[in-house]
């Protein structure tokens, strides 16, 4: 895996207009995904050309909330929705709000497993109305 470490502090402006400190960059999507599998506290903040910028992601979701929402396909029902990509879902997929409610209402629901698999409410799913339109 070849991570490019910035010399000193490097900040990128996200599509939402906020600055996030970059901890590394990749030129290969496969390597970036492999790195994030090993370092689950890190995530993509920006893709610009062929460069993928990685930043530390706080557990409370505050860094991720700075990222714009994208169009995703629900991994459960297939419907389209707007959300934020979670590292543990295939690119372009996430969990829509209807399926979040359905899964959380099922017997055997495990909150920690759900968070690890689908992300955080208000960050990856169950977004506010103004976040969904941006």
- pLDDT tens for each residue of 35-46: 877 777 777 777
* Whole-number CA gyration radius for the chain: 15
What is the model's pLDDT at position 115?
A: 86
Q: How far apart are CA 120 and CA 99, in angstroms?
A: 14
What is the model's pLDDT at position 16?
A: 60
Q: How far apart are CA 14 and CA 41, in angstroms?
A: 18
What is the model's pLDDT at position 27?
A: 81
**Average pLDDT score over the chain:** 80
Task: Confirm if 69 and 84 have CB atoms less than 8 A apart.
Answer: yes
Residues of the chain with pLDDT > 90: what percent?
A: 19
What is the model's pLDDT at position 123?
A: 80
What is the model's pLDDT at position 63?
A: 66
Q: How far apart are CA 49 and CA 47, in angstroms?
A: 6
Average pLDDT of 12-24? 73
């Amino acid at each position: 895996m070849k991570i490019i470490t910035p010399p000193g502090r490097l900040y990128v402006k996200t599509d939402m207009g906020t600055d996030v400190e970059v901890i590394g960059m990749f030129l290969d999507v496969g390597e970036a995904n492999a790195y994030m599998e090993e370092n689950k506290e890190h995530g993509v903040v920006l893709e610009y050309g062929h460069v993928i910028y990685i930043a530390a992601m706080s557990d409370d979701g505050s860094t991720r909330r700075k990222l714009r929402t994208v169009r995703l396909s629900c991994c459960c029902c297939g419907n389209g929705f707007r959300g934020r990509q979670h590292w543990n879902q295939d690119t372009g997929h996430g969990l829509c709000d209807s399926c979040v409610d359905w899964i959380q209402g099922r017997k055997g629901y495990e909150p920690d497993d759900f968070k690890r698999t689908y992300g955080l409410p208000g960050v990856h799913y169950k977004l506010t109305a103004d976040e969904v339109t941006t």
